[in-house]
């Protein structure tokens, strides 16, 4: 696939950078964008809010991560469209405000 579509790795990193910018976190060197929210209840509620808005995210909390560092895990893909990223930006802004991060 990489021989046929050599632009895919760059597309993944550009999408990850866009997600990181929307979340206000450092740009990762991979497709995974962690967004630390603190307490497990906050992360779970934020993940549920994302899902209701049509954005799938992972949610990690203790014992998978240290106490106080529960987080959302956003995963970029090469096939995310501009519309997908716009939706993610909008949902993240809402979720981060809800979580008290912004």
Q: Residue 31 maps to which CATH number?
A: 3.90.1150.10
Torsion angle of the four alpha carbons 14, 19, 25, 27, in this order, in degrees rounded to the nearest 10: -10
Count of domains observed in the chain: 1
Looking at residue 102, its pLDDT comes to 66
- Residue 91 CA to residue 42 CA, distance in Å, equals 15
Cα 7 to its chain centre, rounded Å, is 22
Quote the pTM value.
Answer: 0.91
- pLDDT digit string, tens, across residues 32-66: 999 999 999 999 999 999 999 999 999 999 999 99
Residue 1 lies in a domain: no
Please answer whether residues 34 and 25 qualify as being in contact, where contact means their C-beta atoms are separated by less than 8 angstroms. yes
Q: How many CA atoms lie within 13 A of 27 on its CB side?
A: 8
The sign one gets for the Cα dihedral 12, 14, 18, 20 is positive
Share of the chain above pLDDT 90, in %: 92
Residue 31 lies in a domain: yes
Residue 48 lies in a domain: yes
Q: Choose among 9, 10, 24: nearest CA to 74.
A: 24
Provide the domain limits for residue 48. Answer: 8-99
Q: At residue 76, does pLDDT exceed 90?
A: yes
State the DSSP code for 27.
Answer: P
């Amino acid at each position: 696939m990489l021989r046929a579509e050599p632009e895919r790795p760059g597309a993944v990193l550009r999408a990850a950078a866009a997600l990181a910018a929307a979340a206000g976190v450092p740009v990762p060197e991979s497709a995974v964008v962690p967004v630390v929210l603190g307490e497990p209840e906050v992360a779970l509620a934020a993940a549920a809010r994302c899902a209701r808005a049509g954005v799938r995210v992972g949610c990690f909390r203790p014992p998978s991560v240290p106490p106080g560092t529960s987080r959302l895990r956003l995963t970029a893909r090469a096939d995310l469209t501009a519309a997908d990223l716009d939706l993610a930006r909008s949902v993240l802004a809402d979720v981060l405000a809800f979580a008290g991060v912004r």
